[in-house]
Amino acid sequence: MEARPRVLIVEDDARLAGMLGELLGSEGYDVVLAGDGQRGLHLGLTEDFDVMVLDRGLPAVDGLDVIGRLRDRGVLTPALVLSALGNAADRVEGLNRGAEDYLAKPFDIDELLARLRVLRRRLASTVPVVRFSGGTLDADSRNVALDDGRRFSLSERESALLERLARRPGQIFSRDDLLANVFADADDPGVVDTYVHHVRRKLGRQAIETVRGVGYRMGSAL
């Protein structure tokens, strides 16, 4: 069975958030709600989503600041901003600060759904180049380019491991998570540690950080 697309809704208006959650849930989305910018930022950094819908005027952290901070950390999940600020200058500012789309309130439900479908298609067709601290990974070619000019070729599993960590650079991944999402066909949990060793041997020990007793997270390839 195909996985349901995940959407993060960051909206402080509980009534509107509930309506959006019910609507998108009925359209086949797996919906996660956040009531303020700080919570939305945390979820965006630590969980995987296919698309985000954010209010602009959020408590704690403004919606555009949430997007900017996610982009700074290498999180490229497509974002649609919903805002009562809907003039041309507001829309341009939203797009310039990292949003892929901007929809003024009040909005048409069918238009919102159509725009989310476009964002998901755009993501699916995007070349999967992942930026991380110190370099980039091209997940198609499995080539790593470091900022200092060095180049490395990874095996399929090495690339899949690095991509999993690099797409959520602030998240700590347990061995069980990596085993399930990167090495699903492996029987031995030790395969995770083996491929962490392989990646470190190529990129440097600091490329993957061990969090003792918890798991691994992206380090620096410098």
Report the CATH number that the domain containing residue 164 is assigned in CATH.
Answer: 1.10.10.10
Domain finish residue from 97, 125, 153:
125
Same domain, 154 and 96: no
- Which residues pair with residue 135 across a beta bridge? 132, 146
What's the whole-number average pLDDT of the chain?
87
Look up residue 89 and give its two tokens: 């200058």
Q: Where in the sequence is the domain holding 144, given as residue range(s)?
A: 129-218
Decide which of 154 and 122 is more confident: 154
pTM, to two decimals: 0.61
Least confident span in 19-23, 50-54, 83-87: 83-87
Same domain, 91 and 140: no
In contact, 56 and 81? CB cutoff 8 Å: yes
Same domain, 90 and 21: yes
Strands 30-34 and 129-132: unpaired
Same domain, 207 and 114: no
154 CB neighbour count, 10 Å cutoff: 23
Residue 15 sits in a domain of what CATH number?
Answer: 3.40.50.2300
Least confident span in 1-10, 49-58, 66-75, 81-90: 1-10
pLDDT for residue 47: 85
Same domain, 52 and 18: yes
115 CB neighbour count, 10 Å cutoff: 20
Look up residue 165 and give its two tokens: 């960590």
Single-letter residue type at 89: A
pLDDT for residue 189: 80
| 1 within a domain of the structure (yes/no) | no
| 56 within a domain of the structure (yes/no) | yes
| Residue 128: band (very low, low, confident or very high) from pLDDT cuts 50, 70, 90 | low
pLDDT for residue 81: 93
Same domain, 10 and 94: yes
In 21-128, DSSP assigns E strands to: 30-34, 51-55, 79-83, 101-104
Same domain, 164 and 114: no
| Residue 30: band (very low, low, confident or very high) from pLDDT cuts 50, 70, 90 | very high
Given a cut of 50, whether residue 195 has pLDDT beyond it is: yes
How many structural domains compose the chain?
2
pLDDT (tens digit, 9 = 90+) per residue, 62-83?
A: 999 999 999 888 788 899 999 8
Alpha-carbon distance of 155 to 173, in angstroms, equals 20
Domain finish residue from 110, 125, 140:
125
Same domain, 32 and 112: yes
Least confident span in 49-53, 88-92, 99-103, 150-154: 88-92
Given a cut of 80, whether residue 221 has pLDDT beyond it is: no
What is the mean predicted confidence (pLDDT) over 175-182? Answer: 86
In which element (H, E) is residue 132 found? strand 129-132
Domain finish residue from 81, 99, 125:
125
Question: Where are the alpha helices (H) located in 73-143, listed in sequence order?
Answer: 88-96, 109-125
pLDDT for residue 1: 40
User: Going edge to edge, which strands form the sheet with 79-83?
Assistant: 30-34, 6-10, 51-55, 79-83, 101-104
pLDDT for residue 51: 92
Same domain, 17 and 58: yes
Burial class (CB in 10 A: 0-12, 13-18, 19+), 36: middle
| Residue 222: band (very low, low, confident or very high) from pLDDT cuts 50, 70, 90 | low
